[in-house]
Amino acid sequence: KMFFLYNITYNIEEQIHDQWLQWVQEHHIPDVLKNTPFVGAKLIKVLMDEDMGGVTYSIQYQAANRAMLDIFLFESKFNIFGDMLKMFPNQFVSFSTELEMVQEFVKE
């Protein structure tokens, strides 16, 4: 089964880490799922140390098909992520990637 992911990688300043993580888990991700066509999300901590410091996370939002991802990109993207900029101004950097799952392999 194919699906599409919208992956956002965040590097968070250490002094706001705990507050950011709690807010993302309790408010941000549930709000994104409620107000977009995404069908699921994964919050993933990046384990390698960053040269610039901080703590790095990836949030992967899953869309059932390309059309649902496009709806998000054209209609919801800036509305949803503006809240984080207001809550944590100049305290994180991020970049996003659009991904398509080609094939999933499972060990038998």
Q: What is the pLDDT of residues 49-75, one digit of tens each?
A: 777 789 999 999 999 999 999 988 888
Whose tokens are 């408010």? That residue is 27
Report how far residue 92's alpha carbon sits from residue 17's, in angstroms, rounded to the nearest whole number.
10
pTM: 0.88
Q: What is the pLDDT of residues 14-55, one digit of tens each?
A: 999 999 999 999 999 999 999 888 999 999 999 987 777 899
Token couple for 99: 């991904």
User: Residue 42 in contact with residue 55, Cβ under 8 Å?
Assistant: no
CA-closest candidate to residue 10, choices 78, 67, 94: 94
**Three-state secondary structure of 68-100:** HHHHHHHHHHHHHHHHHHHHCCCCEEEEEEEEE
